Each structure stands twice: as C-alpha cells, then as structure tokens.
C-alpha cells in the first residue's frame, strides 16, 4: 500500500482505463483523511471533473445540506468515489473501469481506517457490499464487515429525481450520526 503522497501521484498519472484519456482532472477525495466516516459515491460528474473534487455539483450540494442539517462536522468525514475519472456523459462506470480503479479506493481505506463507510447509491453498494443486492432493499441497514460498519443509502442525485427518497436518506444518515456518537462515547468513556 502507498502513503498518501505517492497514492495521489499514482492516481494523477493513471491511464489504466480509457477514462484517463477524457478526464480534465482526477477526483481523489475531499474532507478529513483521518475522519471516522468515509462516504463513497459513484464517479465524478462535470463539475467534479472541472474542479478535481468530489460532490461539488447539485448532488453534492444536497449531500452537504443533509450533512449540515444533521450536525455532522467537516472533520467527521471524507468523500470519495468508486472511480476517480468522469465517465463520459455521466454514465455508470463499466465493471472494467471500476475494477481498475478500486485498488486506489482500497488504498485510501487502508490509510484512513474509517470506522463507518457509507455507500451512496447502487454503484458504491455493488462494489463494496454485494453486486446483486438492490439498494431499495438493503438501504438503511447496517452491515458489519472486516471491522467496518457499512451503511448503504441512496445516492443524493436520486433524491433530486424523486422527492420521496429524501425522508429515507435522512433516516439512514441519522443512523450514521447516532453510530458516530456511540463510537465517540466508547472512545472517551
Ligand atoms: N456523483 C458521484 O457519484 N460522485 C461525485 O463526485 C459527484 C456526483
């Protein structure tokens, strides 16, 4: 496994799949690298590609709004994606692209050692939890695996298309907040 500096260098020069040829910027992550929570999305969109940061477009603004409303602090989390380069037209990453990119995410998890991993949407759930699961069925339920607490929930972009999912994602993130508080209490108490 690489240290952060080397990992960023490797990602920045990566041409392991064809997404490397069309990206403007590599999108590695944002937030606190020592945070207890890792949020994982799908892949960069247009604004993320332009800015080199994940979740800075409309879906990201909605995610920030939810996290702020639930009183998460910026120090509580880090945000990354399954793939680090924008798929053309924001299509879902191909298996082959995700498989090439996942070792970078695994390296990030290794360096961060988060206690909680939140899968934002079905692509993150597919590669982190179960490739055959349905997000509508497993969301909101904790999965404990290899010492990580994993919470699958909707992708915030799904909320922009379907208002009725907002309350469900709110409930899921509330569980994450509660678990975070419990983990902090265990540490200090
Ligand atoms: N959607 C994602 O899955 N990731 C981003 O970074 C932005 C939008």
The DSSP code sequence of 21-90 is: HH-SS----EE-TT-SEEEEES---HHHHHHT-SS-SHHHHHHHHHHHHTT--GGGEEEEES-SSPPGGG
Note the pTM of the prediction, 2 decimals. Answer: 0.97
In the predicted model, what is the mean pLDDT of residues 125-154?
97
How far apart are the CA of 101 and the centre of ligand 1, in A?
A: 15
Tokens of 59: 């879906």
Domain count along the chain: 1
How far apart are the CA of 121 and the centre of ligand 1, in A?
A: 10
CATH code of the domain containing 33: 3.40.470.10
Residue 172 has pLDDT above 90, yes or no: yes
Residue 146 has pLDDT above 80, yes or no: yes
Give the containing element (helix H, strand E) for 158. helix 156-161
Confidence of residue 186 (pLDDT cuts 50, 70, 90): confident
Ligand 1 nearest-atom number relative to CA 41: 3
Residue-range definition of the domain harbouring residue 154: 4-181
Give the containing element (helix H, strand E) for 152. strand 148-153
Residue 186: inside a domain: no
Residue 82: inside a domain: yes
Confidence of residue 188 (pLDDT cuts 50, 70, 90): confident
Residue 188: inside a domain: no
């Amino acid at each position: 496994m690489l240290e952060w500096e080397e990992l960023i260098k490797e990602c920045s020069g990566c041409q392991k799949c064809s997404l490397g040829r069309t990206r403007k910027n590599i999108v590695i992550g944002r937030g606190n690298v020592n945070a207890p929570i890792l949020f994982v999305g799908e892949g960069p969109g247009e604004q993320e590609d332009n800015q080199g940061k994940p979740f800075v477009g409309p879906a990201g603004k909605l995610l920030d709004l939810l996290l702020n409303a639930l009183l998460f602090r910026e120090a509580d989390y880090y945000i990354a994606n399954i793939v680090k380069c924008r798929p053309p037209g924001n299509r879902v990453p191909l298996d082959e692209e995700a498989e090439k990119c996942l070792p970078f995410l695994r390296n990030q998890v290794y360096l961060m050692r988060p206690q909680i991993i939140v899968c934002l949407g079905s692509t993150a759930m597919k590669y982190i939890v179960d490739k055959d699961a349905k997000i509508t069925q497993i969301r909101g339920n904790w999965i404990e695996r290899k010492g990580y607490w994993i919470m699958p929930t909707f992708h915030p972009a799904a909320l922009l298309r379907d208002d009725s999912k907002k309350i469900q994602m709110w409930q899921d993130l509330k569980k994450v907040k509660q678990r975070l508080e419990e983990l902090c209490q265990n540490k200090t108490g």
